[in-house]
């Protein structure tokens, strides 16, 4: 799908192997989530056009939607000025958040404390097995 | 400005002290940059309504715009589902990127390599001394 490498390429080595990757909804502009990529996840994302991250908790590649079906089709990839953050513009199927919300940023900090500012799209119990 | 703490509060301790913070333009929805916050930066951001980060290279608080004048007025703060990423919606003065571009994500990954897809707003040499 897209080329890799070159002086502006993400500097995974300089960051101990993992860089933050932001997924933004290509249609609404909403910031959906932040996850992590290693070089393999990045390359597979470019090659397949589907967002692939690296799960720090599971310590393996995480093909977004592999369990939930809530995959992300990648429309564009950007690398920041310091080559240490990746931005994906994606078409999100279903809910980006494992809690069933459209985005992971469904809690706003307000003077009265944290406030849920989105409606759940799906019941997580219906999406994930145990 | 806003309250802190509680079970949904950013878990700085769990991340070794620093969490990624995404700044999004409140008006255009553009993702401007990703930087890092420690608890002190987060608290000062909430208290003052101006984006304050922690500079990993300089190892100190970075009051965005303190040198460049390109400050960020914070309109809303969100914490993600895992309490390990912060999202700011901001009003950006000038260029978010130290290279003079509106956002730090001015390089797109294309089949022909990296392509600059934004126009420079300002000449960095006119903004930063030395």
- What is the fold of A13-95? Ubiquitin-like (UB roll) (3.10.20)
Read off the pLDDT of residues A18-53 as tens digits, 9 standing for 90 and up.
999 999 999 999 999 999 999 999 999 999 999 999
Q: At residue A103, does pLDDT exceed 90?
A: yes
The complex's ipTM works out to: 0.94
Q: At residue A5, does pLDDT exceed 80?
A: no
Domain boundaries, chain B: 13-96
Read off the pLDDT of residues B59-102 as tens digits, 9 standing for 90 and up.
999 999 999 999 999 999 999 999 999 999 999 999 999 999 99
Q: At residue B117, does pLDDT exceed 70?
A: yes
Read off the pLDDT of residues A52-97 as tens digits, 9 standing for 90 and up.
999 999 999 999 999 999 999 999 999 999 999 999 999 999 999 9
Q: In the predicted model, what is the mean pLDDT of chain B?
A: 94
Long-range contacts of B52-58 (CB under 8 A, 24+ apart): B53/B21, B54/B18, B56/B18
Give the HSE-up count for residue B44: Cα atoms under 13 Å, Cβ half-sphere: 14
CB contact under 8 A, B3 and A110: yes
CB-CB neighbors (< 8 A) of B101 in chain A: 81
Give the burial class of A130: count Cβ atoms within 10 A of its Cβ; 0-12 exposed, 13-18 middle, 19 or more buried: exposed
CB contact under 8 A, A78 and B110: no
- Determine the pLDDT at residue B7: 80
> How many of the other CB atoms lie within 10 Å of CB of B95?
24
Residue of chain A whose alpha carbon sits nearest to that of B56 = A15
CB contact under 8 A, A76 and B31: no
**At CA A108, angle to CA A104 and CA A110, rounded to 5?**
170
- What is the fold of B13-96? Ubiquitin-like (UB roll) (3.10.20)
- Going by pLDDT thresholds of 50, 70 and 90, the confidence category of residue B109 is very high
- Determine the pLDDT at residue A1: 44
Contact status, residue A81 vs residue A9, Cβ threshold 8 Å: no
- Determine the pLDDT at residue A6: 74
Residue of chain A whose alpha carbon sits nearest to that of B85 = A34
- Determine the pLDDT at residue A130: 52
- Determine the pLDDT at residue B1: 44
CB contact under 8 A, B24 and A33: no
- Determine the pLDDT at residue B119: 97
Pure H helices in chain A: 39-48, 124-127
- Going by pLDDT thresholds of 50, 70 and 90, the confidence category of residue B5 is low
Assign 3-state DSSP to chain A and report helix, strand, coil percentages, each to 5: 15, 35, 50
Closest CA to B87 of A22, A84, A101: A22
């Amino acid at each position: 799908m897209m080329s890799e490498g070159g002086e502006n390429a993400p500097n995974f080595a300089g960051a101990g192997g993992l860089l933050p990757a932001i997924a933004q909804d290509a249609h609404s502009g909403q910031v959906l989530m932040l996850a992590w990529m290693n070089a393999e996840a990045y390359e597979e994302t470019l090659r397949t056009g589907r967002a692939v991250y690296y799960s720090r908790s599971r310590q393996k590649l995480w093909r977004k939607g592999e369990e939930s079906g809530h995959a992300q089709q990648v429309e564009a990839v950007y690398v920041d000025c310091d080559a240490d953050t990746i931005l994906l513009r994606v078409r999100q199927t279903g809910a980006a958040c494992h809690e069933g919300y459209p985005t992971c940023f469904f809690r706003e900090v307000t003077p009265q404390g944290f406030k849920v500012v989105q409606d759940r799209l799906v019941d997580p119990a219906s999406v994930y097995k145990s």
